[in-house]
Structure formats: structure tokens, C-alpha cells
Amino acid sequence: MSILRGIVRVARFRVEGLAEFDVSGNGFLNSLAPLVAFPLVGCLLELSQGSVIDALSDFLASVVALLAPLAISEILAKRWQAGPLWLGYAVATNWSQWILPMAMAAMLSAFWVMHALGIESTQPMVVGGVVGVLLYGVALHWFLARRALGLSRLRSFLLVSICDLATLALVMGPRLIALHLNGS
């Protein structure tokens, strides 16, 4: 087993990458720990600058963004008789969270190299790159739902759509309400 090998294989949509992850309670906690650690460090840094409300709300939003898709996917997996496979899906999903920042970094590096070569990046190029990375993230989530949970194409699509839209509502809803209340 190799987490890094699993991440690289999953990033290339190779199903054998799923076998590289530790599918146990400890494996799940190990996959979750770094995802919680980074927002926690960010929270502590914000707290040290005196931004208590901002620090706590950002940390809570990060935790909700991390845990909501896991909770929703577990409910759907159980409903669709894929409950026993959920832990493997959750572990693979957690470790796969590292793929998108790497893809974004690769895209930004490509723009930097282009700039160094005298090729200027236009706004549509940058937007296209960001949209491409986001679409890749959705496709990766769909792949994990399809292969790790053994769901049909339609159910994989529904799982991804429900998880993403519900998480967006849970994270952005309170912020939009606060903006509305503060603007009134």
C-alpha cells in the first residue's frame, strides 16, 4: 500500500489506485487528519491576528465543506445498498482532495512559464484553466462514486450533484445571510 501511488493512480482515473488506501477506521482518520489540520492552522493564525469571528467562521466553513459530502454520501450509499463500500470511498475521496490543489498549481506554473517565455495569459485563458480544473474535480468525484461505491452512472451523477450543491448551500448560505443582514 502506498498513499502517494494511490493518489497518482486515482488522479489518472485508474481504478487500481483505490487498492492503495488503508480502508479501516484508522485509515479513515489518517486521511481526514491533514484535511482538518490545514484549516486549523489557518484558524490559529487568524486568531493570533485578533480576528476571532473571521477565524472561527472560516474554520467552521472548512469543516462543513469537508464533512458534509462525507455525511451525505454515506446516507446515499446506504440507501443505494453500497453502504459496505462507503469507507473505501471516503478514504479515497479524502486522499484525493490533494489532487485539485496540485492540478491548480500545475496550471499556475504553466501560466508562469508562458509569462517567462513572453506569452501573456489572457483573462479567458485563466478562467478556462480554472474551469478546467474544477471540471476535472467533478469528473474525479464522479469516478470515485462510480468505482469505489460501484454505483451506476446516473447514481454517481446524483451523488456528486447532491453532495456539491448541498455543501455549497451549507457553506455559502450562512455567509450570504450574514451579508444580507449586515447590508440591511
Q: Is 144:93 a contact under the CB 8 Å cutoff?
A: yes
Q: In this model, does residue 106 exceed pLDDT 70? A: yes
In this prediction, residue 122 carries a pLDDT of 83
Q: In this model, does residue 184 exceed pLDDT 70? A: no
Q: Is 70:93 a contact under the CB 8 Å cutoff?
A: yes
Measured CA to CA, the distance from residue 110 to residue 129 in angstroms comes to: 10
Q: Is 86:148 a contact under the CB 8 Å cutoff?
A: no
How many C-beta atoms surround the C-beta of residue 62 within 10 A? 18
What's the mean per-residue pLDDT of the chain? 93
SS3 label, residue 142? helix
Instruction: Express each pLDDT in 45-82 by its tens digit.
Output: 999 998 888 888 889 999 999 999 999 999 999 999 99
Q: Within the chain, what is the greatest distance between any pair of CA atoms?
A: 55
What is the pTM assigned to this prediction?
Answer: 0.89
Instruction: Express each pLDDT in 126-171 by its tens digit.
Output: 899 999 999 999 999 999 999 999 999 999 999 999 999 999 999 9
Measured CA to CA, the distance from residue 70 to residue 90 in angstroms comes to: 7
